[in-house]
Structures are given as structure tokens and as C-alpha cells.
């Protein structure tokens, strides 16, 4: 992955992390996807086609770790939405 893409996504995480005080990964992910270009979005996982539930890929797990290191909040997916 291009370093600039990772930095852009991390910048968006910092932007939302400064105002968002909850720990729902999907809220943060939606914010990032909304303000990212298609070439940035392709690194994110999609919902399962049958169950419509979410999973985290390795890239997203690294972003969750980044967010936790930056803000001290561990993001997670609600168990009802998790595959």
C-alpha cells in the first residue's frame, strides 16, 4: 500500500477521533469511506453477501491499533453485526 494512502486514512481517523468519543468501528469506518476516494476504499472489507455482517481485514485491524494508540480507545464491531 502506498504510504500516502495510509497517511490520508490515518488523518481522517485523527479528524473523527478528536470529536467521536464512542468505540464503534463501523462509525469510524463509514466516516473514512465517506471522505475517501475509490482507490482508498478498496483496502476496506465489505459485508458478507449472505448474512450482511461485518468482518475486519488485516488493514482495518492495523487502523484499529493506530486509533487505540492515538486516542486510548479500542474500536470494535458490535457482536450482532460481526460475522
Treating both helix axes as pointing N-terminal to C-terminal, what angle do 25-34 and 3-17 enclose, rounded to 10 degrees?
Answer: 120
- Give per-residue pLDDT as tens, 40-80: 999 998 887 888 888 889 999 999 999 999 999 999 987 66
Cell 473523527 belongs to 16
Q: Can you give the length of the chain in residues?
A: 83
Q: What is the rounded distance in angstroms from the CA atom of residue 22 to the CA atom of residue 38?
A: 26
pLDDT range class, residue 81, cuts 50, 70, 90: low
What is the reported pLDDT for 62? 95
Q: What is the rounded distance in angstroms from the CA atom of residue 26 to the CA atom of residue 39?
A: 19
Write the CB contacts of 60 (distance below 8 Å, at least 6 apart in sequence): 25, 29, 44, 45
**Where in the chain are the domains?**
3-71
Rounded to the nearest 5°, which phi and psi values hold at 36?
-115, 155
Amino acid at each position: 500500500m502506498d504510504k500516502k494512502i495510509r497517511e490520508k486514512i490515518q488523518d481522517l481517523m485523527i479528524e473523527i477521533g478528536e470529536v467521536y468519543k464512542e468505540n464503534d468501528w463501523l462509525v469510524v469506518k463509514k466516516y473514512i469511506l465517506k471522505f475517501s476516494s475509490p482507490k482508498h476504499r478498496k483496502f476496506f472489507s465489505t459485508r458478507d453477501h449472505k448474512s450482511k455482517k461485518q468482518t475486519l481485514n488485516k488493514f482495518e485491524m492495523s487502523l484499529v491499533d493506530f486509533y487505540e494508540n492515538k486516542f486510548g480507545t479500542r474500536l470494535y464491531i458490535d457482536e450482532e453485526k460481526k460475522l
